[in-house]
Structure 1
Amino acid sequence: MTTVALERSSAFARLDNRRVEILTLSPEMKGRDRERELQEAGTLDRKVKIRNLWQDLTTWSDRKLRRMIGTVDPDPSAVDDVLNRSGRDWTELREDSEGHLLQVDRYHDRGHLLVIDRQDMKKRGRRGGRRITLFGRDQKVIAQWPTARDFYHAWLDVVIGTKPSYLICDSAFVGNFIHEYRRDNVILSQVIHSHFVDDVAGDHLDELSGDKFGMLRHLDAFDVVAILTNGQREDMSKLDLAARSMKTISNLTENLHGDPTAPRPRGQGAMIARLDPIKRIEDAVLAVSKVEVVRSGRVSLDIFGEGDERPVLEELIAENRLQSNVVLHGHTPGAKNAFLTSSFSLLTSHSEGQALVVAESMSAGCIPICYDIDYRPAEVIDHGINGFIVPNGDVDTLSGTIAHFLSMPENEVRQMRAKAIERAADFFEEAVIRRWGSDLAEQAFTSIAQLKDARAELISASIDSDGISIRVGLSGLGGVIPDDVFVSWKSRKSHFYGRVRAVLTGDMITADIPLSRIVRITAEYVDFSVDLVVGRGFCRVRIAGDSDSIVNRSDRLKLYSTKYGNLSGTFTRADLTSTS
């Protein structure tokens, strides 16, 4: 992900002669001249600048720091929380007896206290409640924030200011809170680099990825959501996760300038992947072991990458006596260049957000042989023309395909290499940046609707064995007519979320939720809301209502009104008896 972000930023700078800043939040980046390191390594264009939150704060003057606007009234007593300084390091920590972080103090480069981030505001000594306090050189409070999100947003406001800007987020972690950073002068984009569901090997699309859950539930808050493949975008569209923001924009790959006529050992294979269970590298090893010609040394596989599966793979290689055929090279800078001298590559993952390594292999003229997985080598490869697609998890067919490739006439292989290089050009930087430019140019810096007074009142809700029928009245929209309206639901403990499009008639909406959409949320609670999309604006409000408006005719899910007067549901487990 980081490599892709660096390459895209450099491509923007080169092709559009545009200034690009990469914004980072990590305290570990403070004081590191990563910009110079990456430029000297040829990874970062000279017009791209890396900017770090903590590098800014620890070097800014008080005048610049005062541009950070707090979101709560400052409490001057916060200075009393300062920890005893144990050394000359810029950070002091306080933890509980189990090692949980309770407080972080940060110091300015000139030595005075800069920030106290206290994370036990509800009860001292126990995590809960937060207060981030920014101090000036006089040790008086400049501003305070109750969340890291608000603190980060304040820094972004200083960095971006009022100038029209495009902000592209690559991190799922940051995406979980950056969706709330809505400014009229900022076109906000999110890139989804990996699978959006939790069980990538399963058939269900309803339990979303836990590390993306906050972001995936708020996709309409982004102006552009970049999905790497059409397949994933189509699956996300089936769940109505976004009304209008999703675009298919591939990651870019380097042009390796492969030569289709260059001689290569036909049996030389290459694979670039983390040594992780999700990559199923053991399948590649077993496939090589099944190729009959392995005994004559005509097939070999170089694997580049590191991870926890190394001991398991080393044992598997030894068991099959493949030490001279399969080599684990570990993490190797410039590993993709191995594709230039290899004849074929393998991809055996459970899933990929986008199998960029396939395009890299094709760019080098190295023929990819890939499992038919999400998301989706088959969108890149024309089977038998520029690569091969193998049924997912079928080691025998994978092995047979390698053997078939080894037996192909040389003129046919050269044609495949030429076709692979031709197809890879669709993922080179000019094509990908042109798509980014087109999709960003469609966005307008219009005012973002703020529906702070919006309310949703339950008129009626009935549930039977087929599903839920619901009617809700809307108010507080100030005469604004939403572009799209949905009824959404979210489980409280797990990562289930979904929604259905509602029909708006006047100030009332109606929607039908098939029970099949939510029955996998078992033995816990689910909360219902109304999602409103207005231009660039997005608003979610809980559905308020009392139990008199609810009719329950299902033994799977019971709707009820919470103690706060909102619509929720509780699932019953079929294996529980009345006495258990």
Structure 2
Amino acid sequence: MFDPASFTSDAPILPAGRHFAVTWSLPTEFAGRTNAMLHRSRAFAANGGRPVDILTFDDFRDYSAIRDQLLTEGFLSEGTSVLNLWEDLPALADALDRDADQEYASFSPLATWAGPVVDLEGPHARRARYSEDGTLLQIDHFRSDGSLLVSDRHDARSKGTHGGRSLTLCDSDGIPVRHYGSSWGLYREWLDSLVGETPAWFVVDNKNTARFMSTFRRDTAVVLYVIHESHLESWTEGFASTMTRSAQEVFPLLDRFDGVIYLTEQQASDVHQRYADIGNSFVIPISRSIAVEPPATARRSAAIGIQAASLNRRKRIDHSIRAVQRVHESLAGTVQLNVFGEGTQREVLEELIKNLAVEDVVRLRGHSKEVRREFDLASFSLLTSTSEAMPLVIVESMAAGCVPIAYDIPYGPASVIDSGVNGFIVEYGNISELADCISAFVTLPEDERASMRVAAIQRAQAFADTAIVPRWAKVMQDVWERKYAPSSPLDVDVVSSDYILEAGGQMKISLLVDLEAPDDRDSVRPDFFCALRPRKQQDFFRVPAVTVVDKGDGRYHLEFTIGDPLLHALAPSTVDFSLEAWRYPDSVSRRIPLFDHGTSRQIYATRHGNLSMVLR
């Protein structure tokens, strides 16, 4: 295994300290988000001058085998290593002194259990017990010598009944040394042992670990969260529409991270319409290893296309197949498409290919470890997903001189492709237009295609590691300076409030507030926001003040406009309104009082849609 202490760099540009990439587990196929995370880690080591440890927390994969596979396939290089919580726990437990102040009343290892026990498969020995209905009640983890490492009960409140968590970490003699009321406590113990007193930089790439990492606050640690996918179920319904399940779990916590990294300006803008920009947002696109000497743009078969994507519904490979079938018929068989990837839709797509009689035109080539080589051979690439954060395949395609043809989806293609110059943007979901675009490209004069290939290669240079890693260094430096700037506590008092419900559903709120802040920063006005928090929901909305008038002596007149799309998205619910003042990272939040106007007014629409009001 690589020893980070042995790593040297002549000219590091990333800040000093330990650098970590945080994910939950590493799959056996390193595509998509995992590919991007692994590549960024290699780029940090090669171009940033700092070694990177990739942290994993799962207990069901053999990481010695995964490391071998990563090394063999080139996903690990000098300066990058993979660490796993469960591999490190035995040494960590033996290094800890027993905490005598902790209570270990819930410690009840399976060795004392008389009921049935099940052996679990995995890289280390694990045994479990279950309730009669199959609910997990306890897992005990063991060292290679058979000694108890962790006893993890899920029935801590009442043995035999699921409820309450209790994890007990034991030394090599099976003696408890630490107790944790949740798995997060155990995770923090591990991270603290890795960090020590040195500065630490955590880049989080996975929503399963993002919720936990949003709570990891240490004086010397900076935590950055990278958003790798679209956060909306259907972007066509607007910025306030329903978020994906994973986004619902993490996005309400974005304030807690030292930095949130978006891959495109477009997605950052959409999220800011929902939560506003409080000052911890940054845009850094995915990077790739781009050859210093661009690939040759010599003549290649104009009609060979490629699509590198998982075979799932979101990627909509069926759109590409149908479009290529139309081109095949209109151009008398001059086009071919090779699809690289695997997934749950393989049988469905094979049946579609058969039904359309394009078996000799469209080939599902499976997973390829040399997909970048395939881009060198192809003339054009297709991207037909429903959504992406920023598809790295577009940059890989352009870097190889393979001209991309992509749907106009959120959030990547339009941020990279200048349509008609270095690629093409096609109307979202329009198979006919996709087919027409393919036909137009493959029938272009060769010199025009060559010109587009050169332009694509030139555009890809903007996403080279040598261009993107310095942007990471700048963001890290900015975050560090703001995180450790002198604290500037704020206080705010709402003096008066009023609201207006306008035709069309828009709501306006006017406030008069008094702001108190330390004298040394009085000249730096905070940003004011109105937060709308539905009860019994984790998600919320935040809108910035559209009018801020300084009345002097710390008094401000504020106005907020809350549009109908946002109010529509909140219904049906009871919503609490709060005033927030941010001078990042300092902030203050106060509920907005509704001052007595003497008359209660309830505005509503009649059954005929007419304006009426109830006065009380």
Alpha carbons of structure 1 residues 510 and 291: separation in structure 2 relative to 1, 3 Å: same
- Write the distance in 1 (CA, Å) between the matches of 2:555 and 2:147: 56
Q: Deviations over 1:409-453 (max 9, x none)?
A: 111111111111111111111111121112212233654889999
Within-5 A mapping of 1:105-116: 105-116=140-151
Asked if structure 2 preserves the Cα contact closer than 8 Å seen for 1:59 and 1:108, the reply is: no
Q: Which residue of 2 aligns with 1:153?
A: 188
2:66 to 34, 39, 44: 34
In the other structure, the counterpart of 1:230 is 265
2:408 matched residue in structure 1: 372
When structure 1 is superposed on structure 2, of 468-477 and 510-519 the one drifting more is 468-477
1:486 to 520, 524, 529: 529
Distance 1:80 1:376, change over 3 A: closer
Partner of 1:569: none
1:210–1:461 CA distance, 2 compared to 1 (3 A)? farther
Number of aligned residue pairs: give it: 552
Query: 1:75 & 1:152 partners in 2: Cα distance?
Result: 19
Contact 2:119-2:128 at 8 Å conserved across structures: no
Deviation at 1:355, TM superposition (A): 1.9
Q: Which residue of 1 aligns with 2:507?
A: 467
Spell out, residue by residue over 1:80-138, the C-alpha distance to the aligned partner (whole angstroms, 9 max, x if none). Answer: 25464666952122333443333222223332222222223345444433222222344
Match of 1:21 in 2: 53
Alignment CA distance shift 1:301-1:189 (3 Å): same
2:29 maps to what in 1? Answer: none
2:102 is equivalent to residue 102 of structure 1: no
> Secondary structure in 2 aligned to 1:322?
coil
Change (3 A) 1:334 1:485: same
* CA deviation profile, 1:298-322 (whole Å, cap 9, x unmatched): 1010111112222222222112111
CA contact (8 A) 2:239 2:270 kept: no
* Range with greater deviation from structure 2 (262-271 or 309-318): 309-318
2:392 paired residue among 356, 361, 371: 356
Residue pair 1:227, 1:247 contacting (<8 A) in 2 also:
yes
Say whether residues 1:519 and 2:568 are aligned partners: yes
Cα 1:31–1:277 change in 2 (3 A) is closer
Q: Identity of counterpart residues, as a percentage?
A: 30
How has the CA–CA distance of structure 1 residues 440 and 38 changed in structure 2, closer, same or farther, with 3 Å as cutoff?
same
Mean Cα deviation higher: 200-209 or 48-57: 200-209
Distance 1:163 1:353 in 2: 33
Aligned to 1:131: 166
Report the counterpart of residue 422 of structure 1 in structure 2. Answer: 458
What SS is found at the alignment partner of 1:188? strand
CA gap 1:82/1:343 in 2 versus in 1, 3 angstroms: same
Residue 393 (structure 1) shift: 1.4
Aligned to 1:577: none
Alpha-carbon separation, structure 1, partners of 2:596 and 2:174? 57
Instruction: Show structure 1 runs of 5+ residues with no match.
Output: 558-580
Secondary structure in structure 1 of the residue aligned to 2:149 = strand
| Matches of 2:554 and 2:143, distance apart in 1 | 56
Q: Which residues of 2 match residues 83-94 of structure 1 at below 5 A?
A: 84=113, 90-94=125-129
1:410 to 446, 449, 456: 446
Instruction: Give the 3-state SS of the residue equivalent to 1:77 in structure 2.
Output: coil
Secondary structure, counterpart of 1:303 in structure 2: strand
* Counterpart position of 2:177: 142
Give the gaps of 5 or more residues in structure 2: 1-32, 606-616
Question: Higher mean Cα deviation, 410-419 or 484-493?
Answer: 484-493
Query: What is the CA–CA distance in structure 1 between the aligned matches of 2:164 and 2:599, rounded to whole Å?
Result: 39
CA shift digits 1:501-552 (9 cap, x unpaired): 367985999664626223223334445556564544567x684989999997
Q: Which string of whole-angstrom CA distances, capped at 9 and with x for unpartnered residues, describes residues 240-289 of structure 1?
A: 44411111101112336763432321111000111112112111111111
After TM superposition, the structure 1 = structure 2 runs for residues 413-562 of structure 1, keeping only pairs within 5 Å, are: 413-444=449-480, 446-447=483-484, 464=501, 466-467=506-507, 469=509, 483-491=526-534, 496-501=539-544, 512=560, 514=562, 516=564, 517-528=566-577, 531=580, 533=582, 535-536=584-585, 543=591, 553-554=601-602
CA RMSD, Structure 1 to Structure 2 (Å): 3.7
Match of 1:48 among 44, 55, 80: 80
| Cα separation, 1, equivalents of 2:517 and 2:164 | 32
Give the direction of change, closer, same or farther, for the CA distance of 1:90–1:390 in structure 2 (3 Å limit): same
Checking the alignment, whether the CA contact within 8 Å between 1:370 and 1:388 is kept in structure 2 is yes
Asked whether the 8 Å contact 2:235–2:241 carries over to 1, the reply is no
Paired letter, 1:28:
F
Q: Indicate the larger mover: 458-467 or 4-13.
A: 458-467
**350-359 or 307-316, which moves further after superposition?**
307-316
Contact 1:177 1:214 in 2 (8 A): no
Structure 1 residues 317-326 or 142-151, which shifts more?
142-151
Matched ranges for 1:105-254 at <5 A = 105-254=140-289
Aligned residue type for 1:191: V
